Structure 1
Amino acid sequence: MVFVRLALVQFGALRDKSGSLGVIERLLDGYGGRPDLIVFPEYSMFDPTGFSSDFVWDGAEDLSGGWVGFFRDLASTRGSCVVATMFERSSVPPRVYNTAIVIDRSGDIIGVYRKTHLFDILGYSESSIITAGGELFKPVSACNLKIGLAICFELRYPEVFRVQALRGAEAVVVPAAWYRGPLKEETLRVLAQARAHENNTYIIVAAQYGGNFTGRSMVVDPYGVVIVDAGIGEKIIEAVIDTEEVYRAREKMPLHRLARWDLLLDSISELIKK
């Protein structure tokens, strides 16, 4: 068995990054755990809802900036891997990337993912402030876990998770800022369970809480069973996962091996062309 201890940070980002950083520091100061992996939610810098693209651009940083520097220091000081998020300046101002990064125990950045599927539904237009990334994440190995990445809305795209599972991901980490609304908490849970079950992969959701967002950070096992759910409120929750359970699940339910990829891929290719 290969156990990995997770810490999911659930909080509500403020409307400026210095305030958000203060909330993060307060939560971490009250947390004495020594996890292998610490995960933060989407939009951790600040809640962009209702802000102009110019405002978001002004608050965004490069990967070499102080925001990422804080999380690199956190990783090296605590000896934990970290998945953090940011608004990253792009080559098409004033729109920015919605970016998640993986940092190893030494504080080195080993993975960068820029959200590819943008939340342009239900009256919200993420593309008015965000420019989409150009490629899906390639899983990286850190803290005894092969980590994939997707961001929030992308839970609605099974293909994003299938590709990463086929590339060897044992867990897909999903930083989220899941907007409140009728049945939205149930939707988040059902989607996370489905993505876990159909890929026999852990799904790790760190979600914002408060204001516009639902909370309900969770970890789902490779059978689609929720093993921890944060519910509401600002908090840090822990879970311990066993990476070998991924391979046991895939042995019991060899969904990828049994798939008729010839039919699936031919049909998808044909339909997309139409």
Structure 2
Amino acid sequence: MRVALVQLAADIDSAANREHISTQLAGLTADDALDLVVLPEASMHDFGAADHDLAAAAEPLDGPFVQLIAAEARRLGTTIVAGMFERTGDDLPFNTLVAVGPDGSLRTTYRKIHLYDSFGYKESDRLLPGEIEPVVIDVAGRPVGLMTCYDLRFPELARELVDAGAETLVVPAAWVAGDHKLDHWRTLLQARAIENTVHVVAAAQGGDRYTGHSLVADPWGSIVVEADSGSEILRADLAADDVARTRDVNPSLANRRLAPPRPAASRKSSLPS
């Protein structure tokens, strides 16, 4: 599976963000033969200050942001996963990942389960949590599980996705910078890869406020490619048999005793990739 990770710094001007995304994605073409392009959490519109009204900025799933992502997915002939704030019937929106297929159709959504009520911040004051329903989609014949930012700190979600068949975890994020935060980001991404013997594809916001350092880790937990803090596009090829080879040598999933595999309640896209 050939992937591209788009690292960018979003703003609270949604129209400007769309223009910036279009400019950055112009560096990709259909000739790149990409299977998956991943943009960060909140690519549509940044979180802004703690009192910034995200409900006013939120868009429906057929709004301008998803229309842009659909047009780019069709142009590139690829699946794109990107983060937005989704309008609801409630006063508060969802923090949502949209997955748009190569034909421009919305294949699935994942609404962030674990809201960032940590490090002195309270995301739940501004957003609704999604249902506890792991989401796995098929991309180029590979099962891909979706997580968002703070979800990374909860290994049980990654394990539910893997029990539902995921062999790659995709983690869009806006990982706030600060003491220890870059170490946490790298360590947790590598840990999720190692303990689940999966690829991890993490696209993060960069700039001054966020940690950046989008990266891809292989099923051994080794970092294949990593960005710095600025706007950048990373590319990586994820070999189909990496997961099987790693699990043959390190069958830790099969050796579990405290929490044996069980059917997970997951939502899967039935549409072709």
What's the TM-score once normalised by structure 2's chain length? 0.91
Moved more, 225-234 or 134-143: 134-143
User: Contact conserved, 1:76 with 1:107, CA < 8 A, in 2?
Assistant: yes
| CA distance in structure 2 between the aligned counterparts of 1:182 and 1:198, rounded to whole angstroms | 25
Question: Residue 22 of structure 2 aligns with which residue?
Answer: 25
Q: Does 1:143 align with 2:163?
A: no
User: Contact conserved, 1:9 with 1:39, CA < 8 A, in 2?
Assistant: yes
Q: Does 1:16 align with 2:27?
A: no
Instruction: Tell me which of 120, 124, 133 is aligned to 1:123.
Output: 120
Cα deviation code 1:29-48 (max 9, x no counterpart): 23444421110000111221
User: Contact conserved, 2:196 with 2:219, CA < 8 A, in 1?
Assistant: yes
Unaligned runs of 5+ in 2: 263-273
Number of equivalences: 260
Cα deviation code 1:147-199 (max 9, x no counterpart): 10000011100000001111110101000000010121111000000000000
1:86 match: secondary structure: strand
1:242 match: secondary structure: coil
Question: Residue 256 of structure 1 aligns with which residue?
Answer: 253
Question: Residue 110 of structure 2 aligns with which residue?
Answer: 113
Unaligned runs of 5+ in 1: 266-274
Question: Residue 170 of structure 1 aligns with which residue?
Answer: 167
Question: Residue 34 of structure 2 aligns with which residue?
Answer: 35
Moved more, 133-142 or 34-43: 133-142
User: Contact conserved, 1:81 with 1:143, CA < 8 A, in 2?
Assistant: no
1:211 match: secondary structure: coil
| CA distance in structure 2 between the aligned counterparts of 1:83 and 1:19, rounded to whole angstroms | 19
Q: Does 1:44 align with 2:51?
A: no
| CA distance in structure 2 between the aligned counterparts of 1:115 and 1:108, rounded to whole angstroms | 21
2:44 match: secondary structure: coil
Question: Residue 131 of structure 2 aligns with which residue?
Answer: 134
Higher share of residues assigned helix: 1
| CA distance in structure 1 between the aligned counterparts of 2:169 and 2:41, rounded to whole angstroms | 14
User: Contact conserved, 2:197 with 2:220, CA < 8 A, in 1?
Assistant: yes
Q: Does 1:219 align with 2:199?
A: no
| CA distance in structure 2 between the aligned counterparts of 1:138 and 1:215, rounded to whole angstroms | 25
User: Contact conserved, 1:136 with 1:160, CA < 8 A, in 2?
Assistant: no
| CA distance in structure 1 between the aligned counterparts of 2:137 and 2:168, rounded to whole angstroms | 10
Question: Residue 74 of structure 1 aligns with which residue?
Answer: 72
Q: 1:238 to 1:263 in 2, by over 3 A?
A: closer
User: Contact conserved, 2:134 with 2:160, CA < 8 A, in 1?
Assistant: no
Cα deviation code 1:231-264 (max 9, x no counterpart): 2210111111112211111122111211013589
Q: Does 1:87 align with 2:51?
A: no
For residue 8 of structure 1, report the CA deviation from its aligned partner: 0.4
Instruction: Tell me which of 225, 229, 237 is aligned to 1:228.
Output: 225
| CA distance in structure 1 between the aligned counterparts of 2:240 and 2:228, rounded to whole angstroms | 25
| CA distance in structure 2 between the aligned counterparts of 1:218 and 1:118, rounded to whole angstroms | 22
| CA distance in structure 2 between the aligned counterparts of 1:35 and 1:264, rounded to whole angstroms | 32
What's the TM-score once normalised by structure 1's chain length? 0.90
Instruction: Tell me which of 150, 153, 163 is aligned to 1:156.
Output: 153
Moved more, 252-261 or 79-88: 252-261
User: Contact conserved, 2:11 with 2:48, CA < 8 A, in 1?
Assistant: no
Question: Residue 4 of structure 2 aligns with which residue?
Answer: 7
